[in-house]
Amino acid sequence: MTTDLYVSVSPHVKQDVTVEKIMWTVVACLLPPLVLSVFVFGFQVLYITLVSVGGCVAAEALSEKALKRPVTVKDGSAVITGLLLAYVIPPGAPVWMPIPAAFMAIFVSKVLMGGLGFNIFNPALIGRAFLVATYPVAMTTAWLEPIRDLSVFKYMGGGVDAVSGATPLYVLKHYGMAAFTERFGAMSTVYRDFFIGLRPGCIGETSGLLLLLGGMFLIWKRYITWHIPASLILSVGGLTWIFGGDALFTGNPLVAVLSGGVMLGAFFMATDYVTSPTQKTGKLIFGAGIGALTVLIRMKGGYPEGICYAILLMNALTPALDQRLRPRRFSEGATV
């Protein structure tokens, strides 16, 4: 009598969690910030997002068909890329703008790299970097002033007129804290409005509250871990408090965290499975490095926000972190 033994490599499935289920859960967590953004900026936000998602899904399907690969749009990864790409675009930008960015994000930085699991850089951020390089005026001036009275719906046709250079980071970098306070009010008002999402900014980055709730849900589901978000946020806040001074935020860590795309980047971009480290120590270093680069770009660079480029730069170090910090039993010279 013989017994057949089937041996397979890890990971071994122990529960009903698939890539598709994780991806669509992330999509669900990203929808509340979109709903709020539609309320405070108008329906153009929804149009940009639909074009972005549709562009990414179409780019993935068409490119995979052209390369004679299985079409994988049902796994939800292209939808996530489309949402995140829309979320880092100003709400007053032209509706067509996500289309060329979707091509760069999906075809160039994902499909040509081998598909899901083989891309080096976060696709949505590659798309944003492409837009900043090709349409810098629209990407830095197409801001809309939010409507702060959420009890009325008359503004649903669109936000108020675009205000050039009205983002908190732009005001802080170029005009200082006095102009920031005059523009956005006392600190108590700033904390409340910025945390809720009533401030100028990109489509999906303004609500710290909804992004935090979505991120905490993903941590609770164990789809992501706390290491990257915590180290990134603490790094931005701590380094701003230490080195900010009068040059940036007057050392105010809460304003530094809530003024840009830190919350969106910490929970939904830096935690991307493919482009972030796998080991806990690597995740902590990765998040802290993103925070440090973000503060450095904000303080010394010509661009008011640095989270996009900080994540992309640290994406490039992910293989080195995984190699250097892999468990001893998998290292060269390890004994079994």
The answer to the question of residue 3 being in a domain is: no
Q: What percent of the chain has pLDDT over 70?
A: 85
Enclosing domain of residue 35:
22-141
Please state the rounded mean pLDDT for residues 26-30. Answer: 95
Looking at the structure, tell me whether residues 190 and 266 fall in a common domain: yes
Structural domain count of the chain = 2
The answer to the question of residue 85 being in a domain is: yes
Helix (H, G, I), strand (E, B) or coil at 162: strand
Looking at the structure, tell me whether residues 96 and 135 fall in a common domain: yes
Dist. CA 182–CA 276, nearest whole Å: 39
Q: What is the pLDDT of residue 186?
A: 85
Looking at the structure, tell me whether residues 203 and 313 fall in a common domain: yes
For helices 187-196 and 208-220, angle between their N-to-C axes, nearest 10 degrees? 50
Q: Cα separations (Å) of 333 from 279, 321, 328, 329? A: 20, 19, 9, 9
pTM of the model: 0.87
**How does residue 221 score in pLDDT terms, banded at 50, 70 and 90?**
very high
Q: Over the chain, what is the mean pLDDT?
A: 86
Looking at the structure, tell me whether residues 135 and 172 fall in a common domain: no
Looking at the structure, tell me whether residues 135 and 168 fall in a common domain: no
Q: What is the pLDDT of residue 250?
A: 61
- Of 53-57, 83-87, 186-190, 230-234, the one with minimum mean pLDDT is 186-190
Q: What is the pLDDT of residue 330?
A: 53
Looking at the structure, tell me whether residues 210 and 90 fall in a common domain: no
Looking at the structure, tell me whether residues 129 and 188 fall in a common domain: no
Digit-coded pLDDT (tens) for 122-153: 999 999 999 999 999 999 888 988 876 555 44
- Of 105-114, 202-211, 267-276, 320-329, the one with minimum mean pLDDT is 320-329
Looking at the structure, tell me whether residues 192 and 310 fall in a common domain: yes
Looking at the structure, tell me whether residues 167 and 136 fall in a common domain: no
Looking at the structure, tell me whether residues 111 and 39 fall in a common domain: yes
Looking at the structure, tell me whether residues 169 and 315 fall in a common domain: yes
Please state the rounded mean pLDDT for residues 206-229. Answer: 95
Looking at the structure, tell me whether residues 194 and 124 fall in a common domain: no
Q: What is the pLDDT of residue 312?
A: 96
Does residue 313 register a pLDDT over 70?
A: yes
Q: What is the pLDDT of residue 61?
A: 94
Q: What is the pLDDT of residue 5?
A: 57
CA torsion 48→52→54→60, rounded to 10°? 170
Please state the rounded mean pLDDT for residues 265-277. Answer: 94
Domain closes at, from 141, 171, 205: 141
Q: What is the pLDDT of residue 148?
A: 60
Return all residues near 189 (Cβ < 8 A) that are at least 6 apart.
none
